[in-house]
Amino acid sequence: MLNLVITLRQKTHEVWHSRFVRSVAVIATGTAGAQAITMAFAPLITRLYGPEAYGVQGTFMAILGVAVPIGALAYPISIVLPRRDEEALGIIQLSVCVSVFVAALLALGLWLVGEVAISILEIESVGDFIYLVPVAMLLAAWKQIAQEWLIRKKEFGVIARSALATSGILNSARALAGFVHPVGAVLIVLATLVEALHTLLMLIGIRKRTTIDRTEPSEVSKVSIIELARRHRDFPLYRAPQIMINAASQSLPVLMLSAFFGPSTAGFYMLSIMVMGMPTALVGMAVSDVFYARITEAAHNGENLSRHILRATGVLAVIGLIPFSIVMFFGPWMFSLVFGAEWSVAGEYARWLAFFFFFNLVNKPSNAAVPVLGIQRGLLFYEVLSTGGKVAGFLLGFYWLNSDIWAVATFSIIGVFAYGGVMLWIYLRAVRWDRDARISQ
């Protein structure tokens, strides 16, 4: 018994002092503070604005969520991969140029056919605020560029502190504006401005905390931006469409609920995904950011990738089991108690979405390993099938079962099977990578 206790203490000491766990803890702490601020303000903000204002904001964010992945054509994700900083800096220049071009192109398109797009998508509730999408998309692209550089330099503390400060400022502004003019337009404007604030805070951190490593001789500086674009072409060809399709699958329920049932129903859904996404934002994204840097390093060092993926996935499963189970059983009662009786429908949505978000959480390590394994084309194929299935399930619930709750439920269930399938596929590809690495040694 004494030996068991000593062994457990040694293992606990090793885990806590590992660089990976400490890095996750840093980001998770900042994210936890940001989420705590959001949840502390949520009961006040939901009472000030109401479901309809949340629905208008949700519609705008759904459109933005689909646009953001093409903002820099996913080139920023590749900033972490090169061995040398000089090539990473070239990718940053490429990403900035691409983001400006895409934003200008989208702005031109909206200027020409914006009114037609609003009418076709039945998003009149957003109105002229749709013209803010190119601005918000550009700012989001720059934010991602800054964040990927910080991940590369392992400055996770800067990411955590900027998230914490942004959350405090954003929620304070929402609350103050809610007392004066509680409408969805205010939430949309603040959602756009917060992208600029978050980017600025990370750029300040980059200036203070990061340096460029020029110790290794390299000819990367001679490589043109066009050559870098060609070298990393799998990101715009496969990863950008995959992320956009995934974002569309997340955004379509908001747009469809708004079109079929009105903005109030979309507001219920927005609140439910905000609450259910907290474990993913708190722990999942922290693990994903740190794990991406760690598994890239592991691949460079010839380590066992499948073991890393399996271990991180198991840890997230244990972490997510209890909170999601509680929502499955007590969702409607919890939402009514915390946010007010009118939000009980959001609790019904959350009960079903708990299954979906649990698998979304445990999928983070697998998803982070995709660029390292070089299987982005396969991930795009999966995303097309997954999104088609989830949208079909949502339409089945609406047209056949004639119920918004059943539409959300079928969407969630199909999503669970899709996540399970892709995690198994990525793990098997990691096993093959490990086998090939051993043979080549």
pLDDT in tens, 243-290: 888 787 777 787 778 777 777 787 888 888 888 877 776 666 666 777
Q: What is the mean pLDDT of residues 327-339?
A: 85
Among 221-230, 276-285, 335-344, the minimum mean pLDDT is found in 276-285
Percent of the chain surpassing pLDDT 70:
86
Record the pTM. Answer: 0.70
Neighbours of 424 (CB within 10 A): 11
CA angle 261, 275, 56 (to 5 degrees): 35
Angle subtended by helix axes 19-67 and 184-209, to nearest 10: 140
Q: What residues have CB less than 8 Å from 32, skipping those under 6 apart?
A: 282
Confidence band, pLDDT 50/70/90 cuts, at residue 144: very high
Q: How do residues 102-131 score in pLDDT, each as one tens digit?
A: 999 999 998 888 777 777 666 666 767 888
Q: How do residues 6-60 score in pLDDT, each as one tens digit?
A: 444 544 444 444 555 565 566 656 666 777 787 788 788 878 887 777 777 777 8
Q: What is the mean pLDDT of residues 320-343?
A: 85
User: Is residue 191 over pLDDT 90?
Assistant: no
pLDDT value of position 284: 64
Confidence band, pLDDT 50/70/90 cuts, at residue 222: low
Backbone angles phi, psi at 215, to 5 degrees: -75, -30
CA angle 128, 387, 69 (to 5 degrees): 50
Percent of the chain surpassing pLDDT 90:
18
User: Is residue 78 over pLDDT 50?
Assistant: yes
- 379 near 370, Cβ under 8 Å? yes
Confidence band, pLDDT 50/70/90 cuts, at residue 4: very low
User: Is residue 412 over pLDDT 70?
Assistant: yes
- 59 near 258, Cβ under 8 Å? yes
Among 137-151, 158-172, 390-404, the minimum mean pLDDT is found in 390-404
Q: What is the mean pLDDT of residues 210-223?
A: 59
Q: Whole-number mean pLDDT of the chain?
A: 82
Q: What is the mean pLDDT of residues 428-440?
A: 85
pLDDT value of position 5: 41
Distance between the two ends of the chain, CA-based, in angstroms?
Answer: 42
Closest-CA residue to 64 (of 250, 282, 215, 316) = 250
Between CA 223 and CA 371 the distance in angstroms is 22
